[in-house]
Amino acid sequence: MRVQNRTMDLPVMPPVKPMLAKSVAKIPPDMHYEAKWDGFRAVVFRDGAEVELGSRTGKTLTRYFPELVEALRERLPERCVMDGEIVIARDGRLDFDALTERIHPAASRVRTLAERTSASFVAFDLLALADESLLNVPLTDRRDLLTTALSGTTPPVHVAPATTDIDVARQWFEEYEGAGLDGVIAKPLTLRYLQDERAMFKIKHERTADVVVAGYRLHKSGPVVGSLLLGLHDERGALQHVGVSAAFSMKRRAELIEELEPLRLADVSGHPWAAWAEEAAHESARLPGAPSRWSGKKDLSWVPLRPERVAEVAYDHMENGVRFRHTARFRRWRPDRTPESCTYAQLEEPVRYDLDEILG
């Protein structure tokens, strides 16, 4: 269901597809810099008592964050459209797991979670104010209008910290990861708001890890590898599923089928993840195919491999220290490493940084 409202009358109406960023290796000079928040991107529409939260895809998020709707109604200008991020913090850092739990079909469950782990909104752009669309206004002017409009705001509504000092941006890149942030966003100073275009730049952390390739899923187009299933051994020696690597050319996908054929198992019995299809097994171990509201009716079946092949992958950060937050990027095979040596102990842990220090 897409965001629709018959009574709202704003100069910028839902649905709006947010402006996006493309990845670059280094922080570019002479730009406007912000931290990259790890939450749900949301465009907020307020027209009097009416408040809508639109997602990146245009679908509504309003029903999942009732406490935030009320807070936005109290703190935002009477008529406005703002771009920002919905986040949830626990123990001084962002908690993406707590955020995903909110996407639940039961209203009673949503209300319970809203009371237990309330959400915040971090605003970083202003698309409309009163009767004026700001889509064609330069970024620096939109930023001035945003900070003025929210000059007296209080939690859980925040204005994203920003700077034009590249040295400050580099410091944020190093320090803020400890609070669960994702990197730095750089925006040209004269940038207009370009819906659904990658007109900004994102700089994210990248690290590497040696992982066990313990299976794969087939690609939707046919009998070639869609994604590799990756594992790490925990302190007990159990192989835990930590994510996937999926960005391959079609030629490489076909090659991987041949390379991995000698490791293919006839069935999953005897595999460390043999119990993956049993819902109860996911309560005590990290296995592929975990039940999820995101997967819906998606086919989660996979091809088991003898867990003997080691690969080096690049990743940005870990979610709660147990899995890759995003799809890992395959770098190379590591025939010099044993599967047993692929443990959580190799992973770099960022120095903790209190989120309150960022949001003030």
336 contacts: CB under 8 Å, gap ≥ 6: none
Q: Is 36 a catalytic residue?
A: yes
**Burial environment of residue 61 by CB neighbours within 10 A (0 to 12, 13 to 18, 19 or more):** buried
- Report which residue type is found at 335: P
Catalytic hit among 22, 36, 202, 220: 36
| Rounded-to-integer distance, Cα 212 and Cα 246, Å | 15
Distances in Å between the alpha carbon of 31 and those of 138, 140, 190? 13, 10, 9
At 262, list the tokens: 């000698």
DSSP 220-250: TTEEEEEEEEEEEE-TTS-EEEEEEE----H
At 117, list the tokens: 């782990």
231 contacts: CB under 8 Å, gap ≥ 6: 211, 212, 213, 214, 239, 240, 241, 242, 272, 273, 307, 342
195, 19 Cβ separation under 8 angstroms: yes
Of 41, 331, 67, nearest to 196 (Cα)? 41
| Active site members | 36
